[in-house]
Amino acid sequence: MATSLCITIICILFITSSSAHDEKNVTNNPADQLVAIVNSNRTAHKASSLGNNPGLACIALQYIKAYQGNCDDVGKSKKPADSEFAETFAPKCGVESSTLAPITGRVLGCQSEYVNPDKAFTEILTMKNRSLNIIYNTTYTEVGAAVSGSGGGGPYFWCLLFSNGKSNSSFLLEGGAAKITSPGCFSGANDDCSGAYGWSQNLNLMFIFAGVFAVICYTIGV
């Protein structure tokens, strides 16, 4: 009895640790993973694959921050005004104002628990059919994605911004790199980012706990 329980736990441990490893290998950034999911779903729906623009993605992170961690405000009339993109979000990122292009699509989702980018896409961002219509719109050329917990934990916001600006010449960053405005991750910047801050620590804690459990098991079982 104790032995089979032990084997089950070891199996679970093995599966969890190997899937966690896979996740790290993709690009180590949930915002980049989300862009990859969006592009694969777009091409499956005969829409083009979009450029992953770090300037636009950094603006997406500022967009999230404008909600100040209030999940309940998502989908209500409290959404930031269009003028804030140019007046507040772009300067915070160091996006050159002369390179701003129209933001023609935005999708925002929020949930109290951290989920992986696949789940975020299917459960949070595409829950409403209206969001899918936005994501599959054929007029875009670029996308920027961001994910953020409001400092040290949930709720977790996921944001996609779309634009029809010219690739490689819109949302350009002063000095070529976005100002890092943690907590949070944004896509296109080639940086490792452990997603919503606090999540990886929880995962590690879980491993330590499971490890202790396995040792106890071992002592009882054999």
Ligand X SMILES: *[C@@H]1O[C@H](CO)[C@@H](O)[C@H](O)[C@H]1NC(C)=O
Which distant-in-sequence residues (6+ apart) come within 8 Å of 60 by Cβ?
Answer: 144, 145, 146, 159, 160, 161, 186
| Residues 87-106: x where in contact with ligand X by CB under 6 A, - otherwise, as a string | -----------------x--
Does residue 77 interact with ligand X by CB under 6 A?
Answer: no
Q: Which listed range, 71-79, 83-91, 121-129, 214-222, lies at the site for ligand X (CB under 6 A)?
A: 121-129
Q: Which listed range, 12-20, 85-93, 129-137, 195-203, lies at the site for ligand X (CB under 6 A)?
A: 129-137
CA angle centred on 136, ends 130 and 138, rounded to 5°: 125
Q: How far is it, in rounded angstroms, from Cα 35 to Cα 54?
A: 11
Q: Which listed range, 37-45, 147-155, 174-182, 213-221, lies at the site for ligand X (CB under 6 A)?
A: 37-45
Residue of 137, 181, 194, 200 that binds ligand X (CB under 6 A): 137
> 30-44 and 2-26 helices cross at what angle (nearest 10)?
80
Total residues contacting ligand X by CB under 6 A comes to 13
Q: How many CA atoms lie within 13 A of 91 on its CB side?
A: 5
Could you list the residues that contact ligand X (CB under 6 A)? 25, 37, 40-41, 104, 122, 126, 129, 133, 137, 139, 167-168
